[in-house]
Structures are given as structure tokens and as C-alpha cells.
Amino acid sequence: MARSALAPRHREETRPATDQQTVLILDYGSQFSQLIARRVREAKVYCELVPGTTPWSVLKERNPAGLILSGGPASVYDKGAPQVDPQALKAGIPVLGICYGMQLIAHHLGGKVDAGRAHEYGPALVAVSEKAGLFEGLNGELPVWMSHGDAVTQMPPGFRGLASSGNSPFAAFTDGNGIYGIQFHPEVVHTPSGREVLRNFLFRVCGCQPSWTAGSFIADAVESIRAQVGDGRVICALSGGVDSAVAATLVHKAVGDQLTCVFVNNGLLRKEEPERVLAVMHGNLDMNIRYVDATARFLDALRGVIDPEEKRRVVGREFISVFEAEATSLGHIDFLAQGTLYPDVIESTAPDVSSTAAKIKTHHNVGGLPPGLRFQLIEPLRYLFKDEVRAVGVELGMPEEMVYRQPFPGPGLSIRCLGEVTAERLEILRNADWVVVDEIKHFGLYRQVWQSFAVLTPLSTVGVMGDYRTYANVVAIRVVTSEDAMTADWARVPYEVLARISNRIVNEVKGVNRVVFDITSKPPGTIEWE
């Protein structure tokens, strides 16, 4: 993977304190692996995704309270199929295998898995024969979601069945000593009792406590940042988004005036963005902020650039140049603070998360620092999902209008301005985007959806405005729902809202005569058009 602008040459990560219970999720490439992590976090138990092939000698250094083996597309008998280290299954700590994870348990402990005998995809009913442990407090028959071609046909010695389905005689099993396997997926919403199954594993089997909260995270992070920084100086790049704002506020709480924030106006921000950021971060939170207006420089660098990945690279490169100049003017700086989140790491295929994940796009803050910037990196949010970041922001006392702002891409409006980026086209996009957000807020939908924004397409169409023929731009509207941006669905926005948005854009934004609405989910699409 190419090294991008703002990721570490040297990283000291903000992980939980050593006494924090940690559940490790061994990732075997399931499309639902991140959902497992979210469900565990929702139960207020800290967890991390690690490659499924990680040796037990490495896993045990984290002193895990339990292991969860995810699903995956492989067959346990395939050549090169990812395998669990058998020592992890014999270490005496609780293990829950889900789908492929269950099959790995059976395969390595003396059971049998048959390929392709009993395909199950979609909804199924599971009959529970023993409720103790995993199924404590649940009904005897559970609707679940299955997604498998292989199935366990013979349990390992010493195991007993806990549940069955029409096509899976062993839909759940246990050895009675803390190892469990289930053929269905408890992490998806299509398994209504799935959260309870996971909570039973966490609390009844692993003995975890629901202690992973925003308050506990802040206490750990502040202590860790203070120990790392000492009497050093920290610089942080503010982008106007939630992530960098929360990261800066957290570092400021830890080291106060040792932090200087640099806010670079790249000309690719939303309408009135610079004024709002400065008012909140400097006026309300009393941070030391350096403001740099580099609009002309960025637009000049983007002239003629069409490809979205190239736009990302150009914006990242120019930002580094501006940021480096400001850092130099501040004198000696020891640390760089960034608002990297867990989904950033996962999508960029960081080596400490999942060796089976495919790179989706370049993230501006994941990769490697250029040789000239010899900072140590502080990434206090690196293991948090977006909703957890918001909870931390609220706990830190940040204004809600900042904490609950919708996500905004690092390269800004450049990747929502399809085709060439110019000042004129940005102004059209900026004004159209303002209308979208204004109406979404007016109808009380802003915090119900994940993102809502406008895209300026490179298309022009014929229209009639008044008695005149027009030939003007097409604007696309994108509104999606999501939990963490790993997947997303298009929001079923009421027609009344869409009608008002369309009417206002055509009438208020000069240069637009047509508005379309995007109804593509992720996958197969992405949230941003790029």
C-alpha cells in the first residue's frame, strides 16, 4: 500500500489501560466482521479486530478475556484457507466461533466439516435444546440469519449440541468448558436475539463487565497522552470535521497549551465552514489555533485534475506542504495528533487489522509520514467507531452542533465536484449542498441519516426556466443511512423533502436546472461519488 500523507513513521497507540478487559475478534474475511466488533462495543466491552491467522503467542500478550472467530468465505479444507492457531483453542480461555469460525473449531479439535452438503443462505429457525450459557433467557426457537455452504456434520470429542436447524444438525455446540460454536450470524439485525447471544458470551461465559464507556476511554486516553507527550509540544490539523475536532479536544484536555492546532482553509470546505470551526474551537474551547487561507494554492494544484484518487493525492500533498511550513514556523514540534478512526484503518488495509480486507480508497490520515516530518504520532481515536467518537465528544463537553456534524471527506468538496475543480463550480456545489443540509435539518432528519449532501456532476442538460431555454448543470443528491460507513443504504427520504430540495436548488443556485436522487447502496456503490 502506498504511503500517504499523514500517517505514522512512529506510532504510540492509545489503547485501553492494561486492566481493561479486551475481547479479540479473529477476522477471517467475513463481510460482517466489523459488525461483530460494533455489537461487542455496544455491550460496553472493549474489543479489537485482528487477522485470524495471528499466532497464539501474539494473541496471549494482550491477555484476552475471550476470542471470537468470525465467519469467512473460505472452506476449512481449501488449500491456503486461513486457519486458527490450534493453541488458541487449547489455552483455556473462552472462544466463540461464528459460521466459518465454528467450522474451524470442529476441524482443529477432531470434528468433521462437510463441504456443500447443506447450503443455508438467509433466514432460518434454530431449535435450542440447551439454554444454559449462550442461550440463557432466550426462547426455545429462534429466528436467525444463515450464510454458509459448509456445515459441521460431526462434533469434536467431548462436545455436545446446543441447537439445530433444518439443514444444520449442529447449529450450535459447546465443549462445556468455554468453547462455543454457532452456525448462524448473531451480529446482523436479521438475527433478532443475536445481541443477547453475544452478551451471554461476553458476560456469562467470559465474565466481562460492561465498563467500556466514553468516560473510561477519556480517562485512559488522557493518562496515556500525558505520559507520551511529557513536556513536549503537539500540533494538530483541524479539518472542520468531527474526528479532528474530538481528537484535538481530547489532546487539549490532556496537555493544554502544549497543543497548537492548525486550520488550513483549502477552499474545498462547506459553506461558512471556516467561521464555524474557529468560533467553536477557539471561541468556545479556548484552543490555540493558527488559521491559514490556502485556497488559491489548492485550486491551482487541482487545475485540470479529473481522477478522484489523483485529487486525493493532490490535496494530501498540498496540505502537507502548507502544514509543514506552519509547523516549521512554530519552532520545535515533537508530536502530531490526528483523528484517525477504526473504519479508516480497516478500509486502508492496515496490517494490524485484517489481512483479508481489500483496499477501498486512500485515506488522507492512514499510511506513512513523509521523511521530512519527524513527529511522533498521537492517534487517540484510532480504535473507535464514529458513534463512539461522538459519545466521547459529548462527554468532553463539546457543542452538539460540532459533535453531531455529518462526516465530511478529507479531500473536501473536490471529490464531490466531479470533473475539474474550479472556484465557479465549487460555489455552485457549495450552495446546492447548503440547501440539502438546510432542508434535511428543517424536516428533523439530520441526525437520523448518516450523510446528506450534493454532488455536482460533469453533465449539463436542457431545461426551461421562465420563457427561456437553459443548458445548465445536473446536481445529484445523496442521503444515506449507516452505522459506521462500512456499509450504507440510501435513505427513504419523503417525497415532500426531495421536492423542496429540488425546487430550492433550481431556483436559488445559479447554474443548475436539474436535480437527481441517488438510490444506490454501499456495496455495490460507495457513499461518496468521487
3-state secondary structure of 11: strand
Q: 231 and 258 in contact (C-beta within 8 Å)? A: yes
Q: 415 and 528 in contact (C-beta within 8 Å)? A: yes
Give CA–CA dist 182/180, Å, rounded: 7
Pick the closest to residue 133 from 211, 192, 204, 186 (CA basis).
204
Residue in 48, 120, 187, 388 annotated catalytic? 187
Residue in 47, 48, 99, 347 annotated catalytic? 99
Give CA–CA dist 174/158, Å, rounded: 9
Which CA distances in Å does 365 have to 317, 320, 345, 378, 405? 12, 11, 9, 12, 19
185 is annotated as an active-site residue:
yes
208 is annotated as an active-site residue:
no
187 is annotated as an active-site residue:
yes
Q: 69 and 88 in contact (C-beta within 8 Å)? A: no
| CB-based burial, 101-121: b 16+ in 10 Å, e otherwise | bbbbbbbbbebebeeeebebe
Residue in 107, 108, 148, 185 annotated catalytic? 185
Place of cell 494473541: 59
Length of the chain: 530
Q: 23 and 40 in contact (C-beta within 8 Å)? A: yes
Q: Please give the positions annotated as active site.
A: 99, 185, 187
